[in-house]
Amino acid sequence: MSPDSRASLSVEYFRDVYAEKDDPFMLDSKWYEKRKYALTMASLPKPQYRRALEPGCSIGVLTEHLAARCDQVVSTDVVQNAIDSARSRVGDTAAVEFALWSLSDDWSALPEPTVPFDLIVISEVGYYLDAADLASAMTRVVEHLETRGTLVVAHWRHAVDDYPLSGDQVHDIIAATTGLALLSRYLDEDVRIEVFVASDGPAVSVASTDGLDVR
């Protein structure tokens, strides 16, 4: 069966995964993950953000990094055990709010659903959805990302038998979404990280935004 012929993964799939291990994806131990998080955070074009959304926060490793750069972070997962671990990691802070939610869920279920985000981070969760569900979710992402807001996308590029999509397929679907302009891309054999801006026109470079002469 080809990857793109599979349906989106169910909540039960992830409940089973977390029932076996507290950190099933080894987010807190593998150098690949630590390096990926460093690259992801370095790719953010702004030093500080007002309100970020992090779907699929797992045990909160990336959440912790985001909390240092964002006034508010809404971090979500579909497994309560994962959210409990993430909450323990970041501690008692008003800057992070957790919710049981996934990219394919109704956005009205998010905290303050009418308040737009200026940063959305889709890290290693896009390939849990099939192509149709991901494309639909991306329409909602654009609707809830404020004008000139930042979308960061990061995914493992190697094949995973259970996943409906590959990392590259996820990025190709997102790149084709109306209302997003590519700002930057990092690519190696293992990971693909891309930054998009909510804009109908071309993205403006960090140096240009910073007032530097880019002639």
C-alpha 134: how far from chain center: 12
CB-based contact 60:75 (threshold 8 Å): yes
Mean of per-residue pLDDT scores for the chain: 96
| pLDDT at residue number 1 | 44
| pLDDT at residue number 121 | 99
CB-based contact 193:199 (threshold 8 Å): no
| pLDDT at residue number 27 | 94
In a domain, 72, yes or no: yes
In a domain, 5, yes or no: no
Find the range with the poorest average confidence among 17-26, 37-46, 117-126, 165-174: 17-26
Q: Model confidence at 52, in pLDDT bands (50, 70, 90)? A: very high
In a domain, 197, yes or no: yes
Q: Model confidence at 5, in pLDDT bands (50, 70, 90)? A: low
Q: Is the pLDDT of residue 181 over 90?
A: yes
In a domain, 2, yes or no: no
Q: Model confidence at 215, in pLDDT bands (50, 70, 90)? A: confident
Q: What is the CATH number of the domain that holds 53?
A: 3.40.50.150
CB-based contact 53:81 (threshold 8 Å): no
Q: Is the pLDDT of residue 31 over 60?
A: yes
In a domain, 29, yes or no: yes
Segment 75-107, tens digit of pLDDT: 999 999 999 999 999 998 889 999 999 999 999
Domain count, the chain: 1
Nearest to 166 by CA among 41, 2, 1: 2
pLDDT, mean of residues 51-75: 98
In a domain, 4, yes or no: no
How much of the chain exceeds pLDDT 70, in percent? 98
Residue 106: strand, helix, or coil: coil
**Long-range contacts of residues 108-111, Cβ cutoff 8 Å, at least 24 apart:** 110/53, 110/74, 110/76, 111/74
Report which listed range, 70-74, 88-92, 209-213, is most confident. 70-74
In a domain, 144, yes or no: yes
d(CA 150, CA 160): 28
Range of the domain at 118: 11-210
d(CA 77, CA 127): 15
In a domain, 66, yes or no: yes
| pLDDT at residue number 151 | 99
Find the range with the poorest average confidence among 1-5, 40-44, 92-96, 158-162: 1-5
